[in-house]
């Protein structure tokens, strides 16, 4: 099934697919950052984007599902001017390079491409001094196959990110931890990667 159709049908199957609360790892890892420009990858119904916007961030929120984006925009009346809702596929259309102080990737099924091409484009989107937050389900929580016959090896994981980062980055967090809201998901642990891109003057 076409990816866009799959997600439109999934979101359209109920009035609200997710809890409406921001992801716990985002709240934990980003609360201390000064607001700037953020990219929310696979924003879904918009909980993370709204949380960021309410804290002063200007957010570009991207998802492949128009159903999800309409729902997110309808909930964004108090921060409408701080969020741009964009329908797109970041696996084929890369974000602008060096444009974002935060790139937020939460449980996004990023297909593993040759040489991790799509993942590298997301890394390139982080501005000097900016932060990448990449969160996935812990491998032990993942089924051998999903409903489409794919396995976790078919998607980039936080560990792939850590291996791609060069000396232009500082890894601040790289760990597996219990989820803060395990009651709303069968997944009990997250793998969290937080890294900061160094500015030119910080290179040794």
Question: Does the pLDDT of residue 100 top 50, yes or no?
Answer: yes
Cα angle: 11, vertex 188, 42; to 5 degrees: 35
Task: Identify whether 134 is part of a domain.
Answer: yes
Does any domain span residue 170? Answer: yes
pLDDT the model gives residue 149: 45
State yes or no: pLDDT of 109 exceeds 90: no
Assess if residue 131 is contained within a domain: yes
* pLDDT tens-digit map of 60-96: 999 999 898 999 998 888 887 899 999 998 888 889 9
Return the number of other C-beta atoms located less than 10 Å from residue 155's C-beta. 17
Rounded to two decimals, what is the model's pTM? 0.86
Residue 7 domain flag: no
Is 125 within the bounds of a domain?
Answer: yes
Position 184 scores a pLDDT of: 56
- Measure the CA dihedral 136/138/141/146, to 10°: 40
CATH number of the domain within which 80 lies: 3.40.50.150
Would you state the pLDDT for residue 202? Answer: 85
Cα distances from 134 to residues 3, 37, 40, 51, in angstroms, run 21, 17, 11, 17
Residue 114 has pLDDT above 90, yes or no: no
Q: Pick from 70, 79, 93, 85: which is nearest to 7 by CA?
A: 70
User: Residue 161 has which token pair?
Assistant: 């990110």
Q: Is residue 11 part of a domain?
A: no
Place of tokens 């979101």: 11
Residue 193 to residues 128, 161, 163: CA-CA distances in angstroms? 17, 8, 11
Q: Indicate if the pLDDT at residue 145 is higher than 80.
A: no
148 domain-assigned: no
Q: What's the rounded Cα separation, in Å, for the pair 127 and 118?
A: 17
Residue 189 lies in a domain: yes
Phi/psi for 164 (5° steps) reads -85, -20
Query: Based on C-alpha coordinates, what's the Rg of the chain?
Result: 16
How much is the average pLDDT of 147-151? 48
Q: How many domains does the chain have?
A: 1
**Residues in CB range of 95: below 8 A, 6 or more apart:** 39, 60, 62, 103, 121, 122, 125
* Domain boundaries, position 191: 35-107+118-143+154-202
């Amino acid at each position: 099934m076409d990816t866009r159709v799959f997600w439109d049908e999934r979101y359209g199957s109920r009035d609200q697919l997710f809890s409406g609360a921001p992801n716990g790892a985002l709240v934990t890892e980003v609360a201390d950052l000064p607001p700037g420009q953020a990219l929310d990858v696979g924003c879904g119904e918009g909980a993370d984007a709204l949380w960021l916007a309410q804290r002063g961030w200007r957010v570009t929120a991207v998802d492949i599902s128009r159903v999800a984006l309409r729902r997110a925009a309808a909930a964004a009346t108090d921060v409408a001017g701080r969020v741009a809702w964009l329908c797109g596929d970041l696996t084929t259309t890369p974000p602008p390079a060096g444009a974002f102080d935060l790139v937020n990737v939460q449980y996004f099924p990023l297909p593993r491409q040759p040489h991790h091409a799509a993942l590298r484009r997301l890394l390139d989107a982080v501005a000097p001094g900016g932060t990448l937050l990449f969160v996935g389900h812990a491998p032990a929580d993942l089924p051998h196959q999903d409903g489409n016959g794919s396995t976790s090896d078919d998607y980039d994981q936080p560990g792939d990110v850590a291996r791609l980062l060069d000396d232009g980055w500082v890894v601040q967090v790289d760990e597996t931890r219990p989820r803060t809201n395990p009651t709303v998901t069968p997944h009990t642990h997250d793998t969290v990667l937080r890294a900061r891109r160094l500015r030119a003057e910080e290179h040794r």
